[in-house]
Structure formats: C-alpha cells, structure tokens
Amino acid sequence: MNYTIFSATQLLLDKLAEDFLLLSQKETVSHISLSGGSTPILLFKYLANSPYAQKINWQKLHFWWGDERCVAATDSESNFGQCKQFLFDQIIIPAENIHRIRGENSPQQEAIRYAQEIRNYIDSVNGIPQFDWILLGVGNDGHTASLFPGQTNYQDAHLTFVATQPQSGQLRVSKTAGLIENSRRITYLVLGENKADIIHKINSEKAGSERYPAGKIKAKAGLTQWYLDSGSAMLLIEEKSDEC
C-alpha cells in the first residue's frame, strides 16, 4: 500500500490542487474521474474558493465520474450535483468538458451510453480507454466506486455496469474494475478516524486478496497511491510506533 499521511487536511487539499494545476498545464487534454462523498466536497470547495480557481486551466481538464446513484442531478445524493454546486457553478469551464452519468435515465441504458461516451473521448491502451487520473474514495466495508465486497467481478470486460448497493438496494451506474485499473494514476482519498479500521485491514491484507475491492483495485501499469490524514491513518501510525 503506497500511502502518504498528511498531518492536516489543508496540506492534502493543497497537494491535490497542485496536481490539478500541473495537469492543466500540459499541452494535451487530461481526463479525470471524480468520486462522491464528503472528502471530494472539501476538495471542490477548496478549488473553487482558492487562487487555484483562476490558476487552473479548466479548458484542459475533462471530468468524469467513477459511479453515480440513479437519481436526478438535482437530488442531494447526486455525485455530479454536489460537484456542480460546489465547483462547476463557481468556475468557468466549458460544458463539453463535463461528462456526467445521467442518473435519471434507465440504469442499463445509461451504463451503455456512458461507456460509449468514454470510448468516444478517451484514447485506448491495450484495448481499454485510459484515464489520466482516477480519484476514489473508500467505504467502511472496503468498497470503492460502486464495487462492493463479494459482488465485484474483477474480470468484467465491460467499461461500465449497474451495481446494487447491498444495504439499501439502490441502483448505481459504475465503472468496472478493469476500466479503473487501466488508468495512468489512481488516488484513494481517505479522511477521518471512522476510516481507520478499514484502512488498517486493507493494509494488512495479503497481496492479491479480493476481500476488499479498494485494496484489490490498482493501476496495472501506472501509479496507485493513498492520500490519508492522521485520523484515517491512526492505526497504521500506532502499528509503526509499536514496531520501533
């Protein structure tokens, strides 16, 4: 597990914002996949309300999503809706650079449509579209995107699929493990002491274990990194201390 522990959330946000800036300064367009949840909201607010809002060349960045709940964009549970509210509505970005999953559509049809949009915009490597950067969160059960423990098909040849949230039964459209693993870079963002237990479990898993999708899914030919705060890394820090 390639992890970096940030002593303060602000330092983590600064690092992410700097990474966005560097990508936006490249000659070619970069395709970034975002996640939902409370941590990305902190990032969106920071990007929109810091000097980075003006520094970043938003025209060079295209945004996608790792998964989306099957709700309308105006619903409070919409991952896109949160990003629109806290980031896109606050900056100047071309509408064509935003590639949302249409949660209000038929899930199966939307999975097919979104996969085709991905193919239309993103160059393939090894026959699979390759994102420049995929940001992911981690659930307390070890899921990431809508890839849940015991339900993830790691050999799925499709780009997208319709997932069912195990507890609520809610349908979601999600990237497959194979599409995520083909990314140039994967960054897991994890904040808070409530994530310390799952982070410790994932870090303790044997290589290749399929118990936790967030621990199994890595960039096959690129960089996989974990950005943690001191709360989520609490048990890792304690363990390292005990070893000294």
- Tens of pLDDT, residue by residue over 161-194, are 999 999 999 999 999 999 999 999 999 999 999 9
b/e burial code for range 18-41 (CB count within 10 A of at least 16 → b):
ebbbebbeeeeebbbbbbbbebbb
Residue 163 forms beta bridges with which residues? 172
Fold for the domain defined by 3-243? Rossmann fold (3.40.50)
Position 244 scores a pLDDT of 53
Which structure tokens are listed for 50? Answer: 């810091």
- Tens of pLDDT, residue by residue over 35-51, are 998 889 999 999 999 99
On the question of pLDDT at 242 being above 90, the answer is no
Number of Cβ within a 10 Å radius of residue 165: 15
Mean pLDDT of 88-99: 97
Structural element, H or E, at residue 44: helix 38-48
> Global pTM?
0.95
C-alpha–C-alpha distance, residues 218 and 215, integer Å? 8
Which of helix, strand or coil describes residue 203? Answer: helix
